[in-house]
Amino acid sequence: MSTSGEEAERSFDPARAYRRSRRVALRPEPFGALAYHFGTHKLSFLKTPQLVAVVTSLEQHPDVYAAMEQAGVDQTQRPAYLRALADLAEAGTIEPRLEESGDS
Amino acid sequence: MKLTEHFQYGLTSPICLTWELTYACNLACVHCLSSSGRRDPRELSTEECKHVVDELRRMQVFYVNIGGGEPTVRPDFWELLDYSVDHNVGVKFSTNGVKLDLCRARRLARTDYVDVQISLDGATESVNDAVRGPGSYATALRALANLAEAGFHRPKISVVMTRHNVGQLDEFAALAAKFGAQLRITRLRPSGRGADVWDELRPTACQQRELYDWLVARGEEVLTGDSFFHLSAYGSPLPGLNLCGAGRVVCLIDPVGDVYACPFAIHEDFLAGNVRSVGGFEAVWRDSELFARLRRPRTGGACRPCGYYSSCQGGCMAAKFFTGLPLDGPDPECVRGFGEQALAARSPDAVIPRSEVDHSRRGPVPVALASPRRRQERR
């Protein structure tokens, strides 16, 4: 990942495009999913099925707001979801999508 | 619902899976939780182990805690480690360091996705060797020095807390810093040979408090394997999972493929099945009656009236079981003192359960590795 990507990672900006990290695997669980980062060896928990839907669909949306909209996250819940997503960005579970980067 | 409430109903696959690859060990630690020593002739073969790894991969068990016995004395240990890592099942392995020469340390440093834990139960040779045997301190420190020289990133120093080493916590932290390692401390359980020494080695009530205060002050940089949640009843919960994970998020696969609810519960009462049976490990994890029972919410039993039950959840199932206490009552080391009361109230003729699984060696134990051709004595 480029230096600008690492900087963006530190400051979560829901107006930008994100994706689930390529090094993160999700394991479905009754509460949502367990996320494992193969690079950092860190486990994180996606505590609702809706959060799982947001994380897995980030890639298809121009920004985080659109992913929450499509996943049907209730307006009142959105601040909590943004906090959870900021934590996931800090843990590297999700990362900014750099449109110019051609990695797959 | 909070995450711990979900955890009590069990997960699709374990988070913390311990896999003991062999009962063979070059040491004979007095508190060995698996009563290890001699290899079991029924040990899973290389191919069977690989099959288990394949299953773990399918079940998305992202890493496994490998132990023993001394896992590195298995001739196929490094092959199995590579196989596991190559199949996206990361390996954390516990070792006394006997096989970690500089050459091996360099290879490990080049392998992504491996963590090494060196067991050390004293920050000084005398405290350590009294428990783990003569020469074991020197062996562990040599392994740590080799890992440091090889540039292995942050190995762990894993310490079982006893009456003789609680006072050495700062020294352990200094030792970890010296070797670029991270300190991990766990609780002494009355499991395996630990039952024989539990009374004399377990921390005193005063030391439990000292340990808790130390963890609150330094806990962020120290791993605990979530084993001190019974201390949470002192006040604020410690970081980590404050819940008995047995059969819910935790389990053990032993060297012969038997699946137990937790690494501290090697006893037929906690045996859920065997990976060699139809459906393998997955069927045991998902369908065993024992695990279904452990995944039911608990009411607290005798602990229910205690205001601290929500913090400590009654403590450790194995610690209760192997001290002859009821599973729905207080932990023997309950920090509110109910455990001591329960221990004192045990009937003099109460039978304290003991594991039938015992691979302890008889006679003097060499610290140097025994020959693999060593005659196998069965109990």
Residue A75, domain member (yes or no): yes
Over range B113-130, report the average pLDDT: 97
The pairing of beta strand A94-96 with beta strand A18-20: antiparallel
| pLDDT over 90 (residue B254) | yes
**∠ CA B288-B289-B295 to the nearest 5 degrees?**
95
Question: Can you give the three-state secondary structure of chain A, one letter per residue?
Answer: CCHHHHHHHHCCCCCCCEEECCCEEEEEECCEEEEEECCCCCEEEECCHHHHHHHHHHHHCCCHHHHHHHHCCCHHHHHHHHHHHHHHHHHCCEEECCCCCCCC
Residue A4, domain member (yes or no): no
Please report, rounded to a whole number, the percentage of residues in chain B having pLDDT higher than 90: 82
Amino acid (one-letter) located at B367: V
Q: Which two tokens stand for residue B295?
A: 């995944």
Asked if B343 is an interface residue toward chain A (Cβ–Cβ < 8 A), one would say no
Looking up tokens 């962020």 gives B220
Residue A7, domain member (yes or no): no
Give the domain range for residue A39: 15-92
The partner residue sitting opposite B90, judged by closest CB among A28, A29, A41, is A41
Residues B232, B142: Cα–Cα separation, whole Å: 36
Question: How high is the pLDDT of residue A8?
Answer: 45
Residue A104, domain member (yes or no): no
Please count the structural domains in chain A.
Answer: 1
pLDDT in tens, A36-88: 998 888 889 999 999 999 999 999 999 999 999 999 999 999 999 999 999 99
Over range B209-237, report the average pLDDT: 88
Give the chain B residue nearest A34 (alpha carbons).
B15
Residues B337, B318: Cα–Cα separation, whole Å: 18
Chain A residues contacting B via beta carbons under 8 Å: 25, 27-31, 34, 36, 38, 41, 43, 45, 47
pLDDT in tens, B329-373: 999 999 999 999 999 999 988 889 999 999 999 866 555 444 434
Mean pLDDT over each residue of chain B, to the nearest integer? 92
Question: How high is the pLDDT of residue B372?
Answer: 39
Please tell me whether the peptide bond between B280 and the residue prior to it is cis, using omega within 30 degrees of 0.
no
CB B8, CB B300: distance < 8 Å: no
Residue A5, domain member (yes or no): no
Question: How high is the pLDDT of residue B8?
Answer: 86
Asked if B304 is an interface residue toward chain A (Cβ–Cβ < 8 A), one would say no
Over range B187-201, report the average pLDDT: 97
| Lowest model confidence (mean pLDDT) among B70-84, B215-229, B242-256 | B215-229
Give the chain A residue nearest B58 (alpha carbons).
A27
Residues B144, B116: Cα–Cα separation, whole Å: 10
Question: How high is the pLDDT of residue B243?
Answer: 81
Give the chain B residue nearest A37 (alpha carbons).
B62
In degrees and rounded to multiples of 5, residue B107 shows phi and psi of -65, -45
Residues of B whose CB is below 8 A from A30: 6, 9, 11-12
pLDDT in tens, B158-184: 999 999 999 999 999 999 999 999 999
A45-78 CB burial, b ≥16 within 10 A, e <16: bbbbebbbbbbbbbeebebbeebbeebebeeeeb
| pLDDT over 90 (residue B193) | yes
Residues of B whose CB is below 8 A from A42: none
Over range B200-206, report the average pLDDT: 96
Residue A10 pLDDT grade (very low, low, confident, very high; cuts 50, 70, 90): low
| pLDDT over 50 (residue A104) | no
Residue A1, domain member (yes or no): no
* H or E element, residue B217: helix B205-218
Question: How high is the pLDDT of residue B297?
Answer: 85
Task: Using DSSP, state whether B251 is helix, strand or coil.
Answer: strand
Mark which residues 48-107 of B lie under 8 Å from A by CB: 60, 62-63, 88, 90
Residues B275, B258: Cα–Cα separation, whole Å: 6
CB B119, CB B94: distance < 8 Å: yes
Instruction: Pick the more confident residue, A33 or B364.
Output: A33
Task: Tell me the nearest-neighbour CA distance from B263 into chain A, angstroms.
Answer: 21
- Taking the model in full, what pTM does it have? 0.90
Q: Do B63 and A41 touch (CB under 8 A)?
A: yes
End-to-end CA distance of chain A: 12
DSSP 8-state secondary structure symbol assigned to residue B277: S
pLDDT in tens, B81-110: 999 999 999 999 999 999 999 999 999 999
Q: Do A29 and B11 touch (CB under 8 A)?
A: yes
CATH code (residue A87): 3.90.930
Question: How high is the pLDDT of residue A2?
Answer: 41
Asked if B9 is an interface residue toward chain A (Cβ–Cβ < 8 A), one would say yes
| pLDDT over 60 (residue B218) | yes
Over range B198-209, report the average pLDDT: 96
Residues B61, B53: Cα–Cα separation, whole Å: 9
Residues of A whose CB is below 8 A from B115: 41
Give the chain B residue nearest A45 (alpha carbons).
B3
Residues B158, B185: Cα–Cα separation, whole Å: 6
Q: Do B11 and A25 touch (CB under 8 A)?
A: no
Q: Which two tokens stand for residue B185?
A: 């401390």
CA A60, A64, A67, A69 torsion-angle sign: negative
Q: Do B12 and A43 touch (CB under 8 A)?
A: no
Residue A21, domain member (yes or no): yes
Over range B33-37, report the average pLDDT: 97
Task: Tell me the nearest-neighbour CA distance from B170 into chain A, angstroms.
Answer: 27
Asked if B13 is an interface residue toward chain A (Cβ–Cβ < 8 A), one would say yes
Give the chain A residue nearest B59 (alpha carbons).
A27
Question: How high is the pLDDT of residue A1?
Answer: 42
Q: Do A36 and B12 touch (CB under 8 A)?
A: no
Mutation target to probe the A interface, by most A beta carbons within 10 A, among B9, B15, B156 is B15
| Selection from B1, B23, B12, B2 nearest residue B295 by Cα | B12
The partner residue sitting opposite B3, judged by closest CB among A28, A41, A45, is A45
Residues B139, B148: Cα–Cα separation, whole Å: 14
Q: Do A25 and B60 touch (CB under 8 A)?
A: yes
Q: Do A30 and B9 touch (CB under 8 A)?
A: yes
Residues B66, B57: Cα–Cα separation, whole Å: 15
CB A64, CB A70: distance < 8 Å: no
Give the chain A residue nearest B11 (alpha carbons).
A29
CB B70, CB B112: distance < 8 Å: no
| pLDDT over 60 (residue B150) | yes
Question: How high is the pLDDT of residue A9?
Answer: 47
| Selection from A14, A1, A19 nearest residue A59 by Cα | A19
Residue A27, domain member (yes or no): yes
